[in-house]
């Protein structure tokens, strides 16, 4: 009888054990702060590149900069090519490793460029998580 109870308890514990949770809101907010610190300490510091977790679920990395970005410059930062490889593997790798679903780049003119799994129009209304 004790073996049945032990087996039942084991099954219950396995079934009730918490599942691996996706990264929490605070983890993404912390990752965005790390991103900002890395760029602030890089050769691109004068561009004031800042990251913020954004969106309803904080799963979008919002990248703001004081520069005017064109497509080629944005791609260089995103993919981490040449002199723009501040983060190993670029912003693309950084966001994938931290479970962001997309990236929105916004320059000083308000122009936005997106990468990843974002719904059309989502980028214009993004608000940083607090």
Nearest to 68 by CA among 18, 43, 16, 105: 105
In a domain, 54, yes or no: yes
Higher pLDDT, 124 or 2: 124
pTM of the model: 0.80
In a domain, 26, yes or no: yes
- The per-residue pLDDT for 124 is 80
Domain count, the chain: 1
Q: Which whole-number Å values give the CA distances from 98 to 24, 30, 59, 90, 108, in the listed order?
A: 10, 10, 9, 13, 26
**What is the Cα–Cα distance from 53 to 59, expressed in whole angstroms?**
6
Structural domain of residue 66, as residue ranges? 22-125
Q: What is the pLDDT of residues 22-67, one digit of tens each?
A: 558 999 999 999 999 999 999 999 999 999 999 988 999 999 999 9
Q: What is the number of other CB atoms lying within 10 angstroms of the CB of residue 78?
A: 21
In a domain, 130, yes or no: no
In a domain, 17, yes or no: no
Q: What is the pLDDT of residues 72-123, one digit of tens each?
A: 999 999 999 999 999 889 999 999 999 999 999 999 999 999 999 887 688 8
């Amino acid at each position: 009888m004790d073996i049945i109870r032990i087996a039942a308890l084991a099954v219950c514990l396995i079934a009730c054990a918490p599942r691996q949770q996706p990264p929490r809101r605070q983890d993404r907010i912390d990752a965005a702060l790390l991103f900002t610190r890395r760029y602030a300490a890089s050769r691109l510091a004068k561009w004031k590149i800042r990251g913020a977790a954004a969106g309803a679920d904080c799963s979008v990395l919002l990248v703001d900069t004081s520069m005017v970005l064109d497509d080629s410059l944005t791609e260089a930062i995103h993919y981490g090519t040449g002199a723009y490889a501040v983060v190993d593997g670029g912003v693309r790798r950084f966001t994938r490793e931290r479970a962001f679903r997309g990236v929105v780049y916004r320059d000083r003119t308000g122009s936005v460029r997106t990468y990843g799994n974002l719904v059309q129009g989502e980028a214009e209304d993004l608000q940083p998580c607090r």
